[in-house]
Amino acid sequence: MWTDPATLALHGQRVFLRADLNVPLSDGVITDDTRITSSLRTLRALRDQGCQVVLASHLGRPKGVDPTLSLAPVAAHLATLLGCEVPLITDYVDADPFAEGFPASGIVLLENLRFHPGEEKNDPAFAALLARLATAYVNDAFGTAHRPAASIVGIAHLLPSYPGFLLFDEVEQLSRLLNLGVEDRPFVALVGGSKVSDKLPILRNLLIRADQLLIGGAMAFTFIKAEGGAVGKSLVEADALEDAMAFLNESEMRGKLIFLPDDAVCGTSLKEPAVGVHPADQIPDSLAGFDIGPETIEKFSDILSEATTIFWNGPVGVFENPQYAEGTLELARRIADGDATAVAGGGDSLAAIHQAGVADGFTHLSTGGGASLELLAGLELPGIAALKAGG
């Protein structure tokens, strides 16, 4: 049922809470706990109602059981944040994990759902197995709402099902961008990242809704190459060149403005020092572009400064490397300093915004990259559709 979580009353029930706890790890240590802290509002609300919470998530892309992708570090971090024990349940398939009673803490965390092949296949048997662990289902995992998984779709048809605070707020905030009035325009979309093939379907849909589209990141070089530019060793998807050119032609037919980088900060590799700035369509054969250059920063900033509404997904350079971070960080600062309604989505975009220290300057920071793009493209997310259909 699609209902405001603030009105939800599940007092004393055992609730299966699907969260997005897919946090970045380095040698088993959590490097950014944003997704964990984002789930706490719903988790605490359920515990305040006396619910027993069966918390579940995936982590990474394991092929079978992978100890390096265990949710054990997440369980330990949650225990610290909540000030209580959070047992990690590793065997919930072949045994009843609560045969001897539910922990006094009122919360358990299931081991990585993707350790089981039935999760990503939306296997009805695996969904039924999960459903038997609870009497109600709450989905607060917006970041995976576009994935038709057993814990996202299958279980929602088997139990009374509701959205959590994070998921509900995400859909409410992002849906506003689908119904912009004249007073909300110009609407400018800034899209970065590496692969054209991953984002081209979404770009086509954004093309319909946005007034102007700025393209940065490595995927910009596929478009520049398609137009006949020289991009050196920059990342190019050769099998996407024809589609990229067709997209540019489509934009021209629609009268929509697409802006590509004019210049790029280049180097021989990410391991070597940057060697300078070159026109983005005249990069020497020995070099690759890893960030937008100063002319592009100013051009993009000028366009963004005239926007009334902005949506940003994906960095415009390899911002993890300080030599190639300036483009992404400076655009984050310029957007935050402006007056536009500014929404950003995706883990890398959010990481860059936090790195720039300007999170407070954005209207909404979405925890879902792919999910936010698909929602803004007007596509129905499987996880949202399942909740609306009800259990």
Asked whether the CA dihedral 278, 280, 283, 286 is positive or negative, the reply is: positive
Cis peptide bond N-terminal to 117, omega within 30: no
Q: Which two three-digit tokens encode residue 181?
A: 């009035």
Question: What does the alpha-carbon distance between residue 289 and residue 317 come to, in Å, rounded to a whole number?
Answer: 9
What is the residue type of 163?
A: P
Asked whether the CA dihedral 390, 380, 154, 367 is positive or negative, the reply is: negative
- Among candidate residues 35, 114, 147, 334, the one labeled active-site is 35
If you search the block for the tokens 């039935």, which residue do you land on?
A: 118
Query: Around Cβ 94, how many Cβ atoms within 10 Å?
Result: 7
- Among candidate residues 118, 293, 345, 370, the one labeled active-site is 370
Q: Which two three-digit tokens encode residue 360?
A: 């407070």
- Among candidate residues 44, 195, 204, 256, the one labeled active-site is 195
Catalytic (active site) residue 195:
yes
Phi-psi region of 173 (alpha: psi -120 to 50; beta: other; left: phi over 0): alpha
Catalytic (active site) residue 333:
no
CA distances from 51 to 10, 91, 105, 180, 199 (A): 7, 22, 11, 39, 40
Apex 376 CA angle, 44 and 203, nearest 5? 135
Which segments of the chain are extended strands (E)?
A: 14-18, 25-26, 29-30, 52-56, 88-89, 107-110, 136-139, 161-163, 187-191, 212-215, 230-231, 257-259, 263-267, 274-279, 282-283, 288-292, 309-313, 341-345, 364-366
Q: Facing residues of 360 across strands?
A: none
- Among candidate residues 317, 347, 369, 383, the one labeled active-site is 347
The C-alpha torsion from 224 through 230 and 235 to 240, rounded to 10°, is: 50
Catalytic (active site) residue 370:
yes
Question: What does the alpha-carbon distance between residue 46 and residue 44 come to, in Å, rounded to a whole number?
Answer: 5
Active-site residues, by number, are 35, 195, 347, 370
